[in-house]
C-alpha cells in the first residue's frame, strides 16, 4: 500500500470550485518535463463531472493537447454546459494556464439504459500475481540520465505497473508494436464511480505513445527523442475499480510524418472490457548530439 501518494493523486483530481462552471487544479511534478497529460485529462473530466446531474455517467472523452503544461503553475478549467438532453449531456472544457489554453476537452454523459452487448475477449496473458513488478534501472545506469528522468524512474508512484514483456527503455530493442500491462492503484479509494473514471483517465496516458516506438528501437528516455501527446480519446463501457488489477492491452497500427497512433483496451482481471483508448502523438528523432526540449 502507498496511501500517501494515492491520497495526493485523489487531492490532485479534487478541484477547487471558483464559480458554477469554473474550477482550479494544481499540478504535480512526477519527473516529466511538463505537466503529465493524464493529469490534465483526469482534472478536465473531474471538472465536467461536477456540472452533470441526474446520475449520468461519462461514456466518452475527446481531447487535444495544445501546449505543454507548466508544472509550477495551477490550471483553470472553464466548463461549457453544451447540452443536457433527455438521455445525454455534453460538456466542453478548456484548460488554461498563463492566459492560454493548454487543452480542449469534450465529454459525453448518459443515463444508464439496457441495450445490446458484446465485447472482444481479453488476451490470454499471465495473471498479475505471476508477473514481476517493474524494477528501476541500476544506480550505474541512473547516473547517466538527466535528473528529471532519474526522478521519474525512481519514484514510487500511485500506480503499480507490471508489463507482461518488459523492455529495457534505456537501450530498447526493436519489437513488434504490441504490449500488455497489468496496473492498479497502490491504495484503496472510495466507491465513487466518478473518482474511478477520473483516475482511469489519468492512468490511460501511460504506455500509449511508448508502444509506437517499439519497431524503431527508441524510447522517450533517449535525449534526442522528442515525444508529446497530440490528442486523446477514451470510451468507458462497464463499471470497474482502479484499485483492482486492470489489464492494458496496447498496439500501434501505424507511425508516419513524425506522428504515431496507439490504441488500448482495458480489461478487469475477470475479462470484462471496461474502456477503450486511442491516442496520436508527436515522435521526432533528432540528429545525434541534438537534445529534445
C-alpha–C-alpha distance, residues 139 and 236, integer Å: 40
**Cα angle: 195, vertex 28, 208; to 5 degrees:** 70
Decide if pLDDT at 231 tops 90: yes
Tell how far CA 126 is from the center of its chain.
Answer: 23
3-state secondary structure of 9: helix
> Average per-residue pLDDT in the chain?
92
Q: Which is catalytic among the residues 27, 46, 180, 279?
A: 279
| Residue 130 annotated among the catalytic residues of the structure | no
Write the secondary structure of 60-116 as one string of H (helix), E (strand) and C (coil): EEEEEECCCCCCCCCEEEEEEEEEECCCEEEEEEEEEECCEEEEEEEEEEECCCCCC
| Residue 279 annotated among the catalytic residues of the structure | yes
- For every residue of 168-232, DSSP letters joined together read -SSSPPP--SEEEEEEEESS---S-HHHHHHHHHHHTTSSHHHHTTGGGT--TTSTTEEEEEEEE
| Residue 205 annotated among the catalytic residues of the structure | yes
Decide if pLDDT at 54 tops 90: no
C-alpha–C-alpha distance, residues 240 and 234, integer Å: 15
User: Phi and psi (nearest 5°) for 225?
Assistant: -105, 125
Q: Which is catalytic among the residues 205, 222, 252, 276?
A: 205
Mean pLDDT of 166-190: 94
**Cα angle: 221, vertex 63, 269; to 5 degrees:** 70
Report the C-alpha dihedral over residues 10, 16, 22, 28, rounded to 10 degrees.
-50
Decide if pLDDT at 148 tops 70: no
Tell how far CA 17 is from the center of its chain.
Answer: 23
Strand pairing partners for 254? 261
Mean pLDDT of 62-91: 97
Q: Which is catalytic among the residues 229, 249, 252, 276?
A: 229
C-alpha–C-alpha distance, residues 181 and 179, integer Å: 7
Q: Which of 251, 229, 237 is nearest to 63 (CA)?
A: 229
Strand pairing partners for 63? 105, 232
pLDDT tens column, 194-213: 999 999 999 999 999 999 99
pLDDT tens column, 20-43: 999 999 998 777 778 999 999 999
Mean pLDDT of 189-195: 97
Mean pLDDT of 272-284: 98
Assigned CATH class of 3-111+127-285? mainly beta
What's residue 98's pLDDT? 96
Q: Is the dihedral of CA 80, 202, 43, 15 positive or negative?
A: positive
Amino acid at each position: 500500500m502507498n496511501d500517501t501518494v494515492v491520497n495526493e493523486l485523489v487531492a490532485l483530481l479534487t478541484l477547487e470550485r471558483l464559480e458554477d462552471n469554473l474550477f482550479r487544479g494544481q499540478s504535480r511534478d512526477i519527473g516529466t518535463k511538463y505537466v503529465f497529460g493524464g493529469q490534465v485529462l483526469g482534472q478536465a473530466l473531474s471538472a465536467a463531472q461536477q456540472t452533470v446531474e441526474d446520475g449520468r455517467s461519462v461514456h466518452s472523452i475527446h481531447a487535444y493537447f495544445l501546449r505543454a503544461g507548466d508544472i509550477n503553475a495551477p490550471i483553470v478549467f472553464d466548463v461549457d454546459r453544451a447540452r443536457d438532453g433527455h438521455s445525454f449531456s455534453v460538456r466542453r472544457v478548456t484548460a488554461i494556464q498563463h492566459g492560454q489554453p493548454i487543452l480542449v476537452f469534450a465529454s459525453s454523459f448518459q443515463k444508464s439504459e439496457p441495450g445490446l452487448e458484446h465485447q472482444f475477449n481479453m488476451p490470454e496473458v499471465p495473471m498479475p500475481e505471476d508477473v514481476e513488478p517493474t524494477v528501476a534501472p541500476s544506480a550505474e545506469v541512473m547516473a547517466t540520465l538527466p535528473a528529471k528522468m532519474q526522478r521519474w524512474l525512481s519514484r514510487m508512484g500511485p500506480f503499480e505497473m507490471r508489463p507482461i514483456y518488459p523492455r529495457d527503455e534505456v537501450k530498447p530493442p526493436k519489437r513488434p508494436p504490441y504490449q500488455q500491462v497489468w496496473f492498479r492503484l497502490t491504495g484503496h479509494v472510495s466507491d465513487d464511480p466518478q473518482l474511478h473514471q477520473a483516475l482511469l483517465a489519468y492512468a490511460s496516458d501511460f504506455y500509449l505513445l511508448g508502444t509506437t516506438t517499439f519497431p524503431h528501437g527508441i524510447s522517450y528516455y533517449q535525449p534526442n527523442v522528442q515525444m508529446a501527446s497530440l490528442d486523446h480519446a477514451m470510451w468507458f463501457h462497464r463499471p470497474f475499480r482502479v484499485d483492482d488489477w486492470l489489464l492494458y492491452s496496447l498496439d500501434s497500427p501505424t507511425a508516419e510524418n513524425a506522428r504515431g497512433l496507439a490504441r488500448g483496451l482495458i480489461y478487469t482481471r475477470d475479462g470484462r472490457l471496461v474502456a477503450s483508448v486511442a491516442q496520436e502523438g508527436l515522435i521526432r528523432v533528432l540528429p545525434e548530439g541534438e537534445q529534445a526540449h
